[in-house]
A and B are shown apart, each in its own frame.
Chain A
Amino acid sequence: MVLPHHLRVLAGVSGEVRLDVPAPVTQRRVLDALEVRHPQLRGTVRHPETLLRRPFVRFYACELDLSHDGPDEPLPAEVAEGREALHVVGAVAGG
């Protein structure tokens, strides 16, 4: 995963975050693993109760916008196999 600046600072990481996620590799499972590894990120990418993607956060990988894919849809094989990163991007909205 590649996290946006604020979440990298919050998690105390730089560069990519590599996670071990059992198959099938889905948005839900990747975020579950992220929040286990970095509990301070709970609630920052997805709503803490509904587990839905926060409105100003988007997911991209393999030149695709995956933001509107369901949380349980398998991610591209390149992401599941660690060859491409899942990018978590904060919307470029004002303020």
Chain B
Amino acid sequence: MTAVRLLIGTQKGAFTATADATRREWTLAGPLFRGWEVYHIAGSPADPDRLYASQSTGWFGQIVQRSDDGGSTWRPVSNDFSYDGEPGTHQWYDGTPHPWEFARVWHLEPSLADPDTVLAGVEDAALFRTTDGGGSWHELSGLRTHRSSPSWMPGAGGMAVHTILVHPSDPGRMHVAISAAGVFRTDDGGATWTPANRGLRSQGIPNEDAEVGHCVHRVARHPSRPDTLFMQKHWDVMRSDDGGDSWVEVSGDLPTDFGFPIAVHDHEPETVYVVPITSDSEHYVPEGRLRVYRSRTGGHEWEPLTDGLPQRDCYVNVLRDAMAVDSLDPCGLYFGTTGGQVYASADGGDRWSAVVRDLPRVLSVEVQALP
């Protein structure tokens, strides 16, 4: 691979940043979709020129954009995310039944093998798929119609499918994560789903060990170990080694175990990254210091990564979809902040530098390795 391309979604548009394999000098392009929230942009692993973007505003709703030339030009594709049948209700914040209402696409997950196939995680929580490059979207309604779904409740940011993990060798097997219902697993392509939250404990919900109802912020895994999952939860960093059947806490010596993103080193399946923030009430890094934490042991023991990151007067957060790793060697890491900075490391997190400093609030970061 000779280059990398960052796909950056922000509160007021999207940007791309490209660099060669040294990942030192960056060229920024944008803003695309000026003034719109871009929750996520993703590239197809099968065709790096095929990109999809989720573009939305509270005023005008949801647009999905597609590029066939690596982001130089874009065209809208279908934005019809109609739920199958009568959508029913879920719990509202006050515990009353609330109609299921589509709000936006939170996450796009292109197929590993087919650039025309993309999964979309949406708010209110549901999973959709296109197989025609965005020409049409169809709900995998087995998730939303799970027997527990009337009890699902939104997290503070909404009730959304924000994480989609497709098994690297079996596309019929997937894990998704929903705020604030938890993790669900399918082994039959989305027809049926099973909660996968045993071992999660959430203070503040009526049953701390409930089957569903946990606010899972993000789940990540290494493709070589599809049954080993790492989770950043609303408090607690967790690990499963049985595909989500059970979870154990691996927060260890983190200064705080509250945060949003979690990522796994591309070549080291036991090397995990998180960005702790102060608390559920204070969504910024502790002590004014921006620190990424790395564990080389799959959790428990964590080290702060600070070289090149601000260590004073910094009060930003990193949102759940705003951290990414590349497949180059050494592995590169990238994250964007709510303060509009995007940082890159070309050496697994040992040293960081700013790609760009003054973007709008960063909502998502993805990275492509380009031939």
Contacts and interface: CB of A to CB of B under 8 A. Distances in A.
A68 interface: no
A32 to B, nearest CB: 16
Given A7-B60, A10-B60, 12 more contacts: A6-B36, A6-B60, A10-B76, A40-B63, A42-B80, A48-B79, A54-B59, A54-B60, A56-B59, A57-B59, A90-B59, A90-B60
B80 A40 contact: no
A95 interface: yes
Given A6-B35, A6-B36, A9-B34, A48 B80 contact: yes
Tell me whether chain A's interface is mostly helix, strand or loop, or mixed. Answer: loop
Contacts of A43: 61-62, 79-80
Given A42-B79, A48-B79, A6 B62 contact: no
Contacts of B60: 6-7, 10, 44-45, 54, 56-57, 90
22 contacts: A4-B59, A6-B35, A6-B36, A6-B57, A6-B59, A7-B60, A10-B60, A40-B76, A42-B79, A43-B79, A44-B60, A44-B63, A47-B61, A48-B79, A49-B82, A54-B59, A54-B60, A56-B60, A57-B59, A57-B60, A90-B59, A91-B59
Nearest to B77: A40
A95 B80 CA distance: 25
B61 A44 contact: yes
Interface in B57-72: 57-63
A42 B61 CA distance: 10
Interface in A36-60: 40, 42-45, 47-49, 54, 56-57
A3 B62 CA distance: 17
Which of B62, B63, B80: most chain A Cβ within 10 A? B63
A51 to B, nearest CB: 13
Contacts of B80: 42-43, 48
A57 B59 CA distance: 7
Which of B35, B57, B60, B76: most chain A Cβ within 10 A? B60
Contacts of B82: 48-49
A66 B35 CA distance: 27
Interface string B33-65: 011100000000000000000000111111100
Contacts of A45: 60
B85 to A, nearest CB: 13
Contacts of B58: 56, 93, 95
Contacts of A6: 35-36, 57, 59-60
A14 B61 CA distance: 21
Contacts of B57: 6
Nearest to A45: B60
Contacts of B34: 9
Which of B34, B62, B79: most chain A Cβ within 10 A? B79
B63 to A, nearest CB: 7
A6 B79 CA distance: 16
A49 B76 CA distance: 19
Contacts of A44: 60-61, 63
B303 to A, nearest CB: 38
A80 B256 CA distance: 63
Nearest to B83: A49
